[in-house]
Structure 1
């Protein structure tokens, strides 16, 4: 039977149809929890390793710096307050190590960054064999610093390759020194090695910064008649602002942490001319078994790096 819908009577309000019931949505809470658990499970191994080998040793080292703990000792560990720091700041070896590290950083930071930038500019071109030169420049970086130090150790000997080359090039007039056993040449020799080994790494960072600069800027500069120097000064250099900050911070931290070259080549000598803060901490902690004193050195080194990084970050910050 069919019902006929009557037209609405004038002046009479017709009720609106009831809204349809929303469809039943699946409950997404369990899926969200599963995703969260999967994420935590993925980062758990890395987090456990960081906790075990980074955070816990850092906390333990901070606590040991205020004790008299030794690596092997029958005496119980006792709290001694700031005795280790008083001894540290009155130790001439520490101040000599700080001077050596400062000398190393002052030379390495500008020279290595400048050399890496020059290398990046050279290979930031499209020409035949560019990949070969990129590989050649980067090859020392992938070589272990211990292996590189051993290689240069033989080159720096009195009868090594460098002195043989100097003698041959000067027809026997120049007799090269014993580079690593002379206090005047030991640190410069390590500086040359360090710059050669790490310049390729920072070259890659400079290259990434160069390739992020738009080519339209160079085209506009060429249309305005800008020379290559003006293109570098007004286009390339400002475009590398953030890259400069990264390069500055990374090279400085690496320079302050100088250890491998010294440990392999000079053992801090001759006459402490190549002793560094990290090397002094390792020597005190393992060879002299003064764990607490080594922890104090490490804590001071951490604060020093933190302050220098903060100052660099402040000086290179973006200004309105």
Structure 2
């Protein structure tokens, strides 16, 4: 009964992982008349001296450092606003969640048009500022390209983590809030002493999932900027895909993927250790 699922896991997970570990130590190419040979740590030595890799790594961490706290905090605020059964709550939950079920490729294409020189974003800025602000070509400027992608990514994914926060909020017993109100606590005190401790497991899950998703940034970059301008939006995953499929250097792309896997695994383990149940 488990054979179909096990077969899929082996073909689409186990085999690619093993191949990645093996190919990282070879000079394999995607299409080549010459057989691949073992070259030891040459790919990793090349990685250490590749300026684009280090730039991509900085961009990846920059994206994650901004997105993780902003997206998780905004999702929590939205969850607090729609928590309850008042009139209109379901409508707002649906509106906030619609971007999540929309394809990231479609969202990226739409926002790419919005960020153009004559796009919606610049028109709104001009309308709000009474034409005193002249909008920029957001995705063509190295200083604004990554912040523009960050804003779009937070908007697209915040609804999903809002639902996770909301599920955590609804597991907190109402009696705790009633007891806190009887003690004369303020809303902030109720949040800090009742809500926030009750969300311990939820915030651990959200922290890990947002971090992994942020470090794996690819689709938005591929659709909106192709790593530019001047490599200002290139990420580790995007570089691995570009090197492996466009430049057809499978061995070097596997080395990049292997380093990326080690980084994500290390960060995830550190997060789990810091957020563990100390009791």
Sort the TM-score into its range (normalised by shorter chain): over 0.9
**Cα-Cα RMSD:** 0.6
- 5 Å matches for 1:141-156? 141-156=100-115
Equivalent residue, structure 2, for 1:113:
72
Equivalent position of 2:262 in the other structure: 303
Residue 170 of structure 1 and its aligned partner are, at CA, apart by: 1.5
Q: Report 1:114-133 matches (<5 A).
A: 114-133=73-92
For 1:16-27, what aligned pairs fall within 5 Å after superposition?
A: none
Structure having the higher helix fraction is 2
Match of 2:132 among 162, 173, 176: 173
Deviations, residues 219-263 of structure 1 (Å, cap 9, x unaligned): 100010011110000000000001110010000000000000000
Question: Within 1, Cα distance between the matches of 2:15 and 2:159?
Answer: 34
Q: What are the ranges of 5 or more consecutive residues in structure 2 without an aligned counterpart?
A: none
User: What SS class does the counterpart of residue 206 from structure 2 fall into?
Assistant: helix
Select the residue among 213, 226, 229 that pairs with 2:188. Answer: 229
- Give 1:98 shift: 0.5
Alignment pair present for 1:96 and 2:55 = yes
Question: What is residue 231 of structure 2 aligned with on the other side?
Answer: 272
How far the C-alpha of 1:269 sits from its partner, in A, is 0.2
1:46 CA displacement? 1.7
Gaps of 5+ in 1: 1-40
SS of 2:228's partner is coil
User: Superposition pairs for residues 131-280 of structure 1, below 5 Å?
Assistant: 131-280=90-239
Give SS of 2:40's match: coil
Return the alpha-carbon distance in structure 2 between the equivalents of residues 242 and 171 of structure 1.
47
2:33 aligns with 74
Q: Distance in 2 between the 1:312 and 1:216 partners?
A: 31
- Secondary structure at 2:135 match in 1: coil
2-structure distance, mates of 1:308, 1:267: 26
TM-score, normalization by structure 1: 0.86
Deviation of the 1:66 alpha carbon: 0.3
Equivalent pairs, count: 279
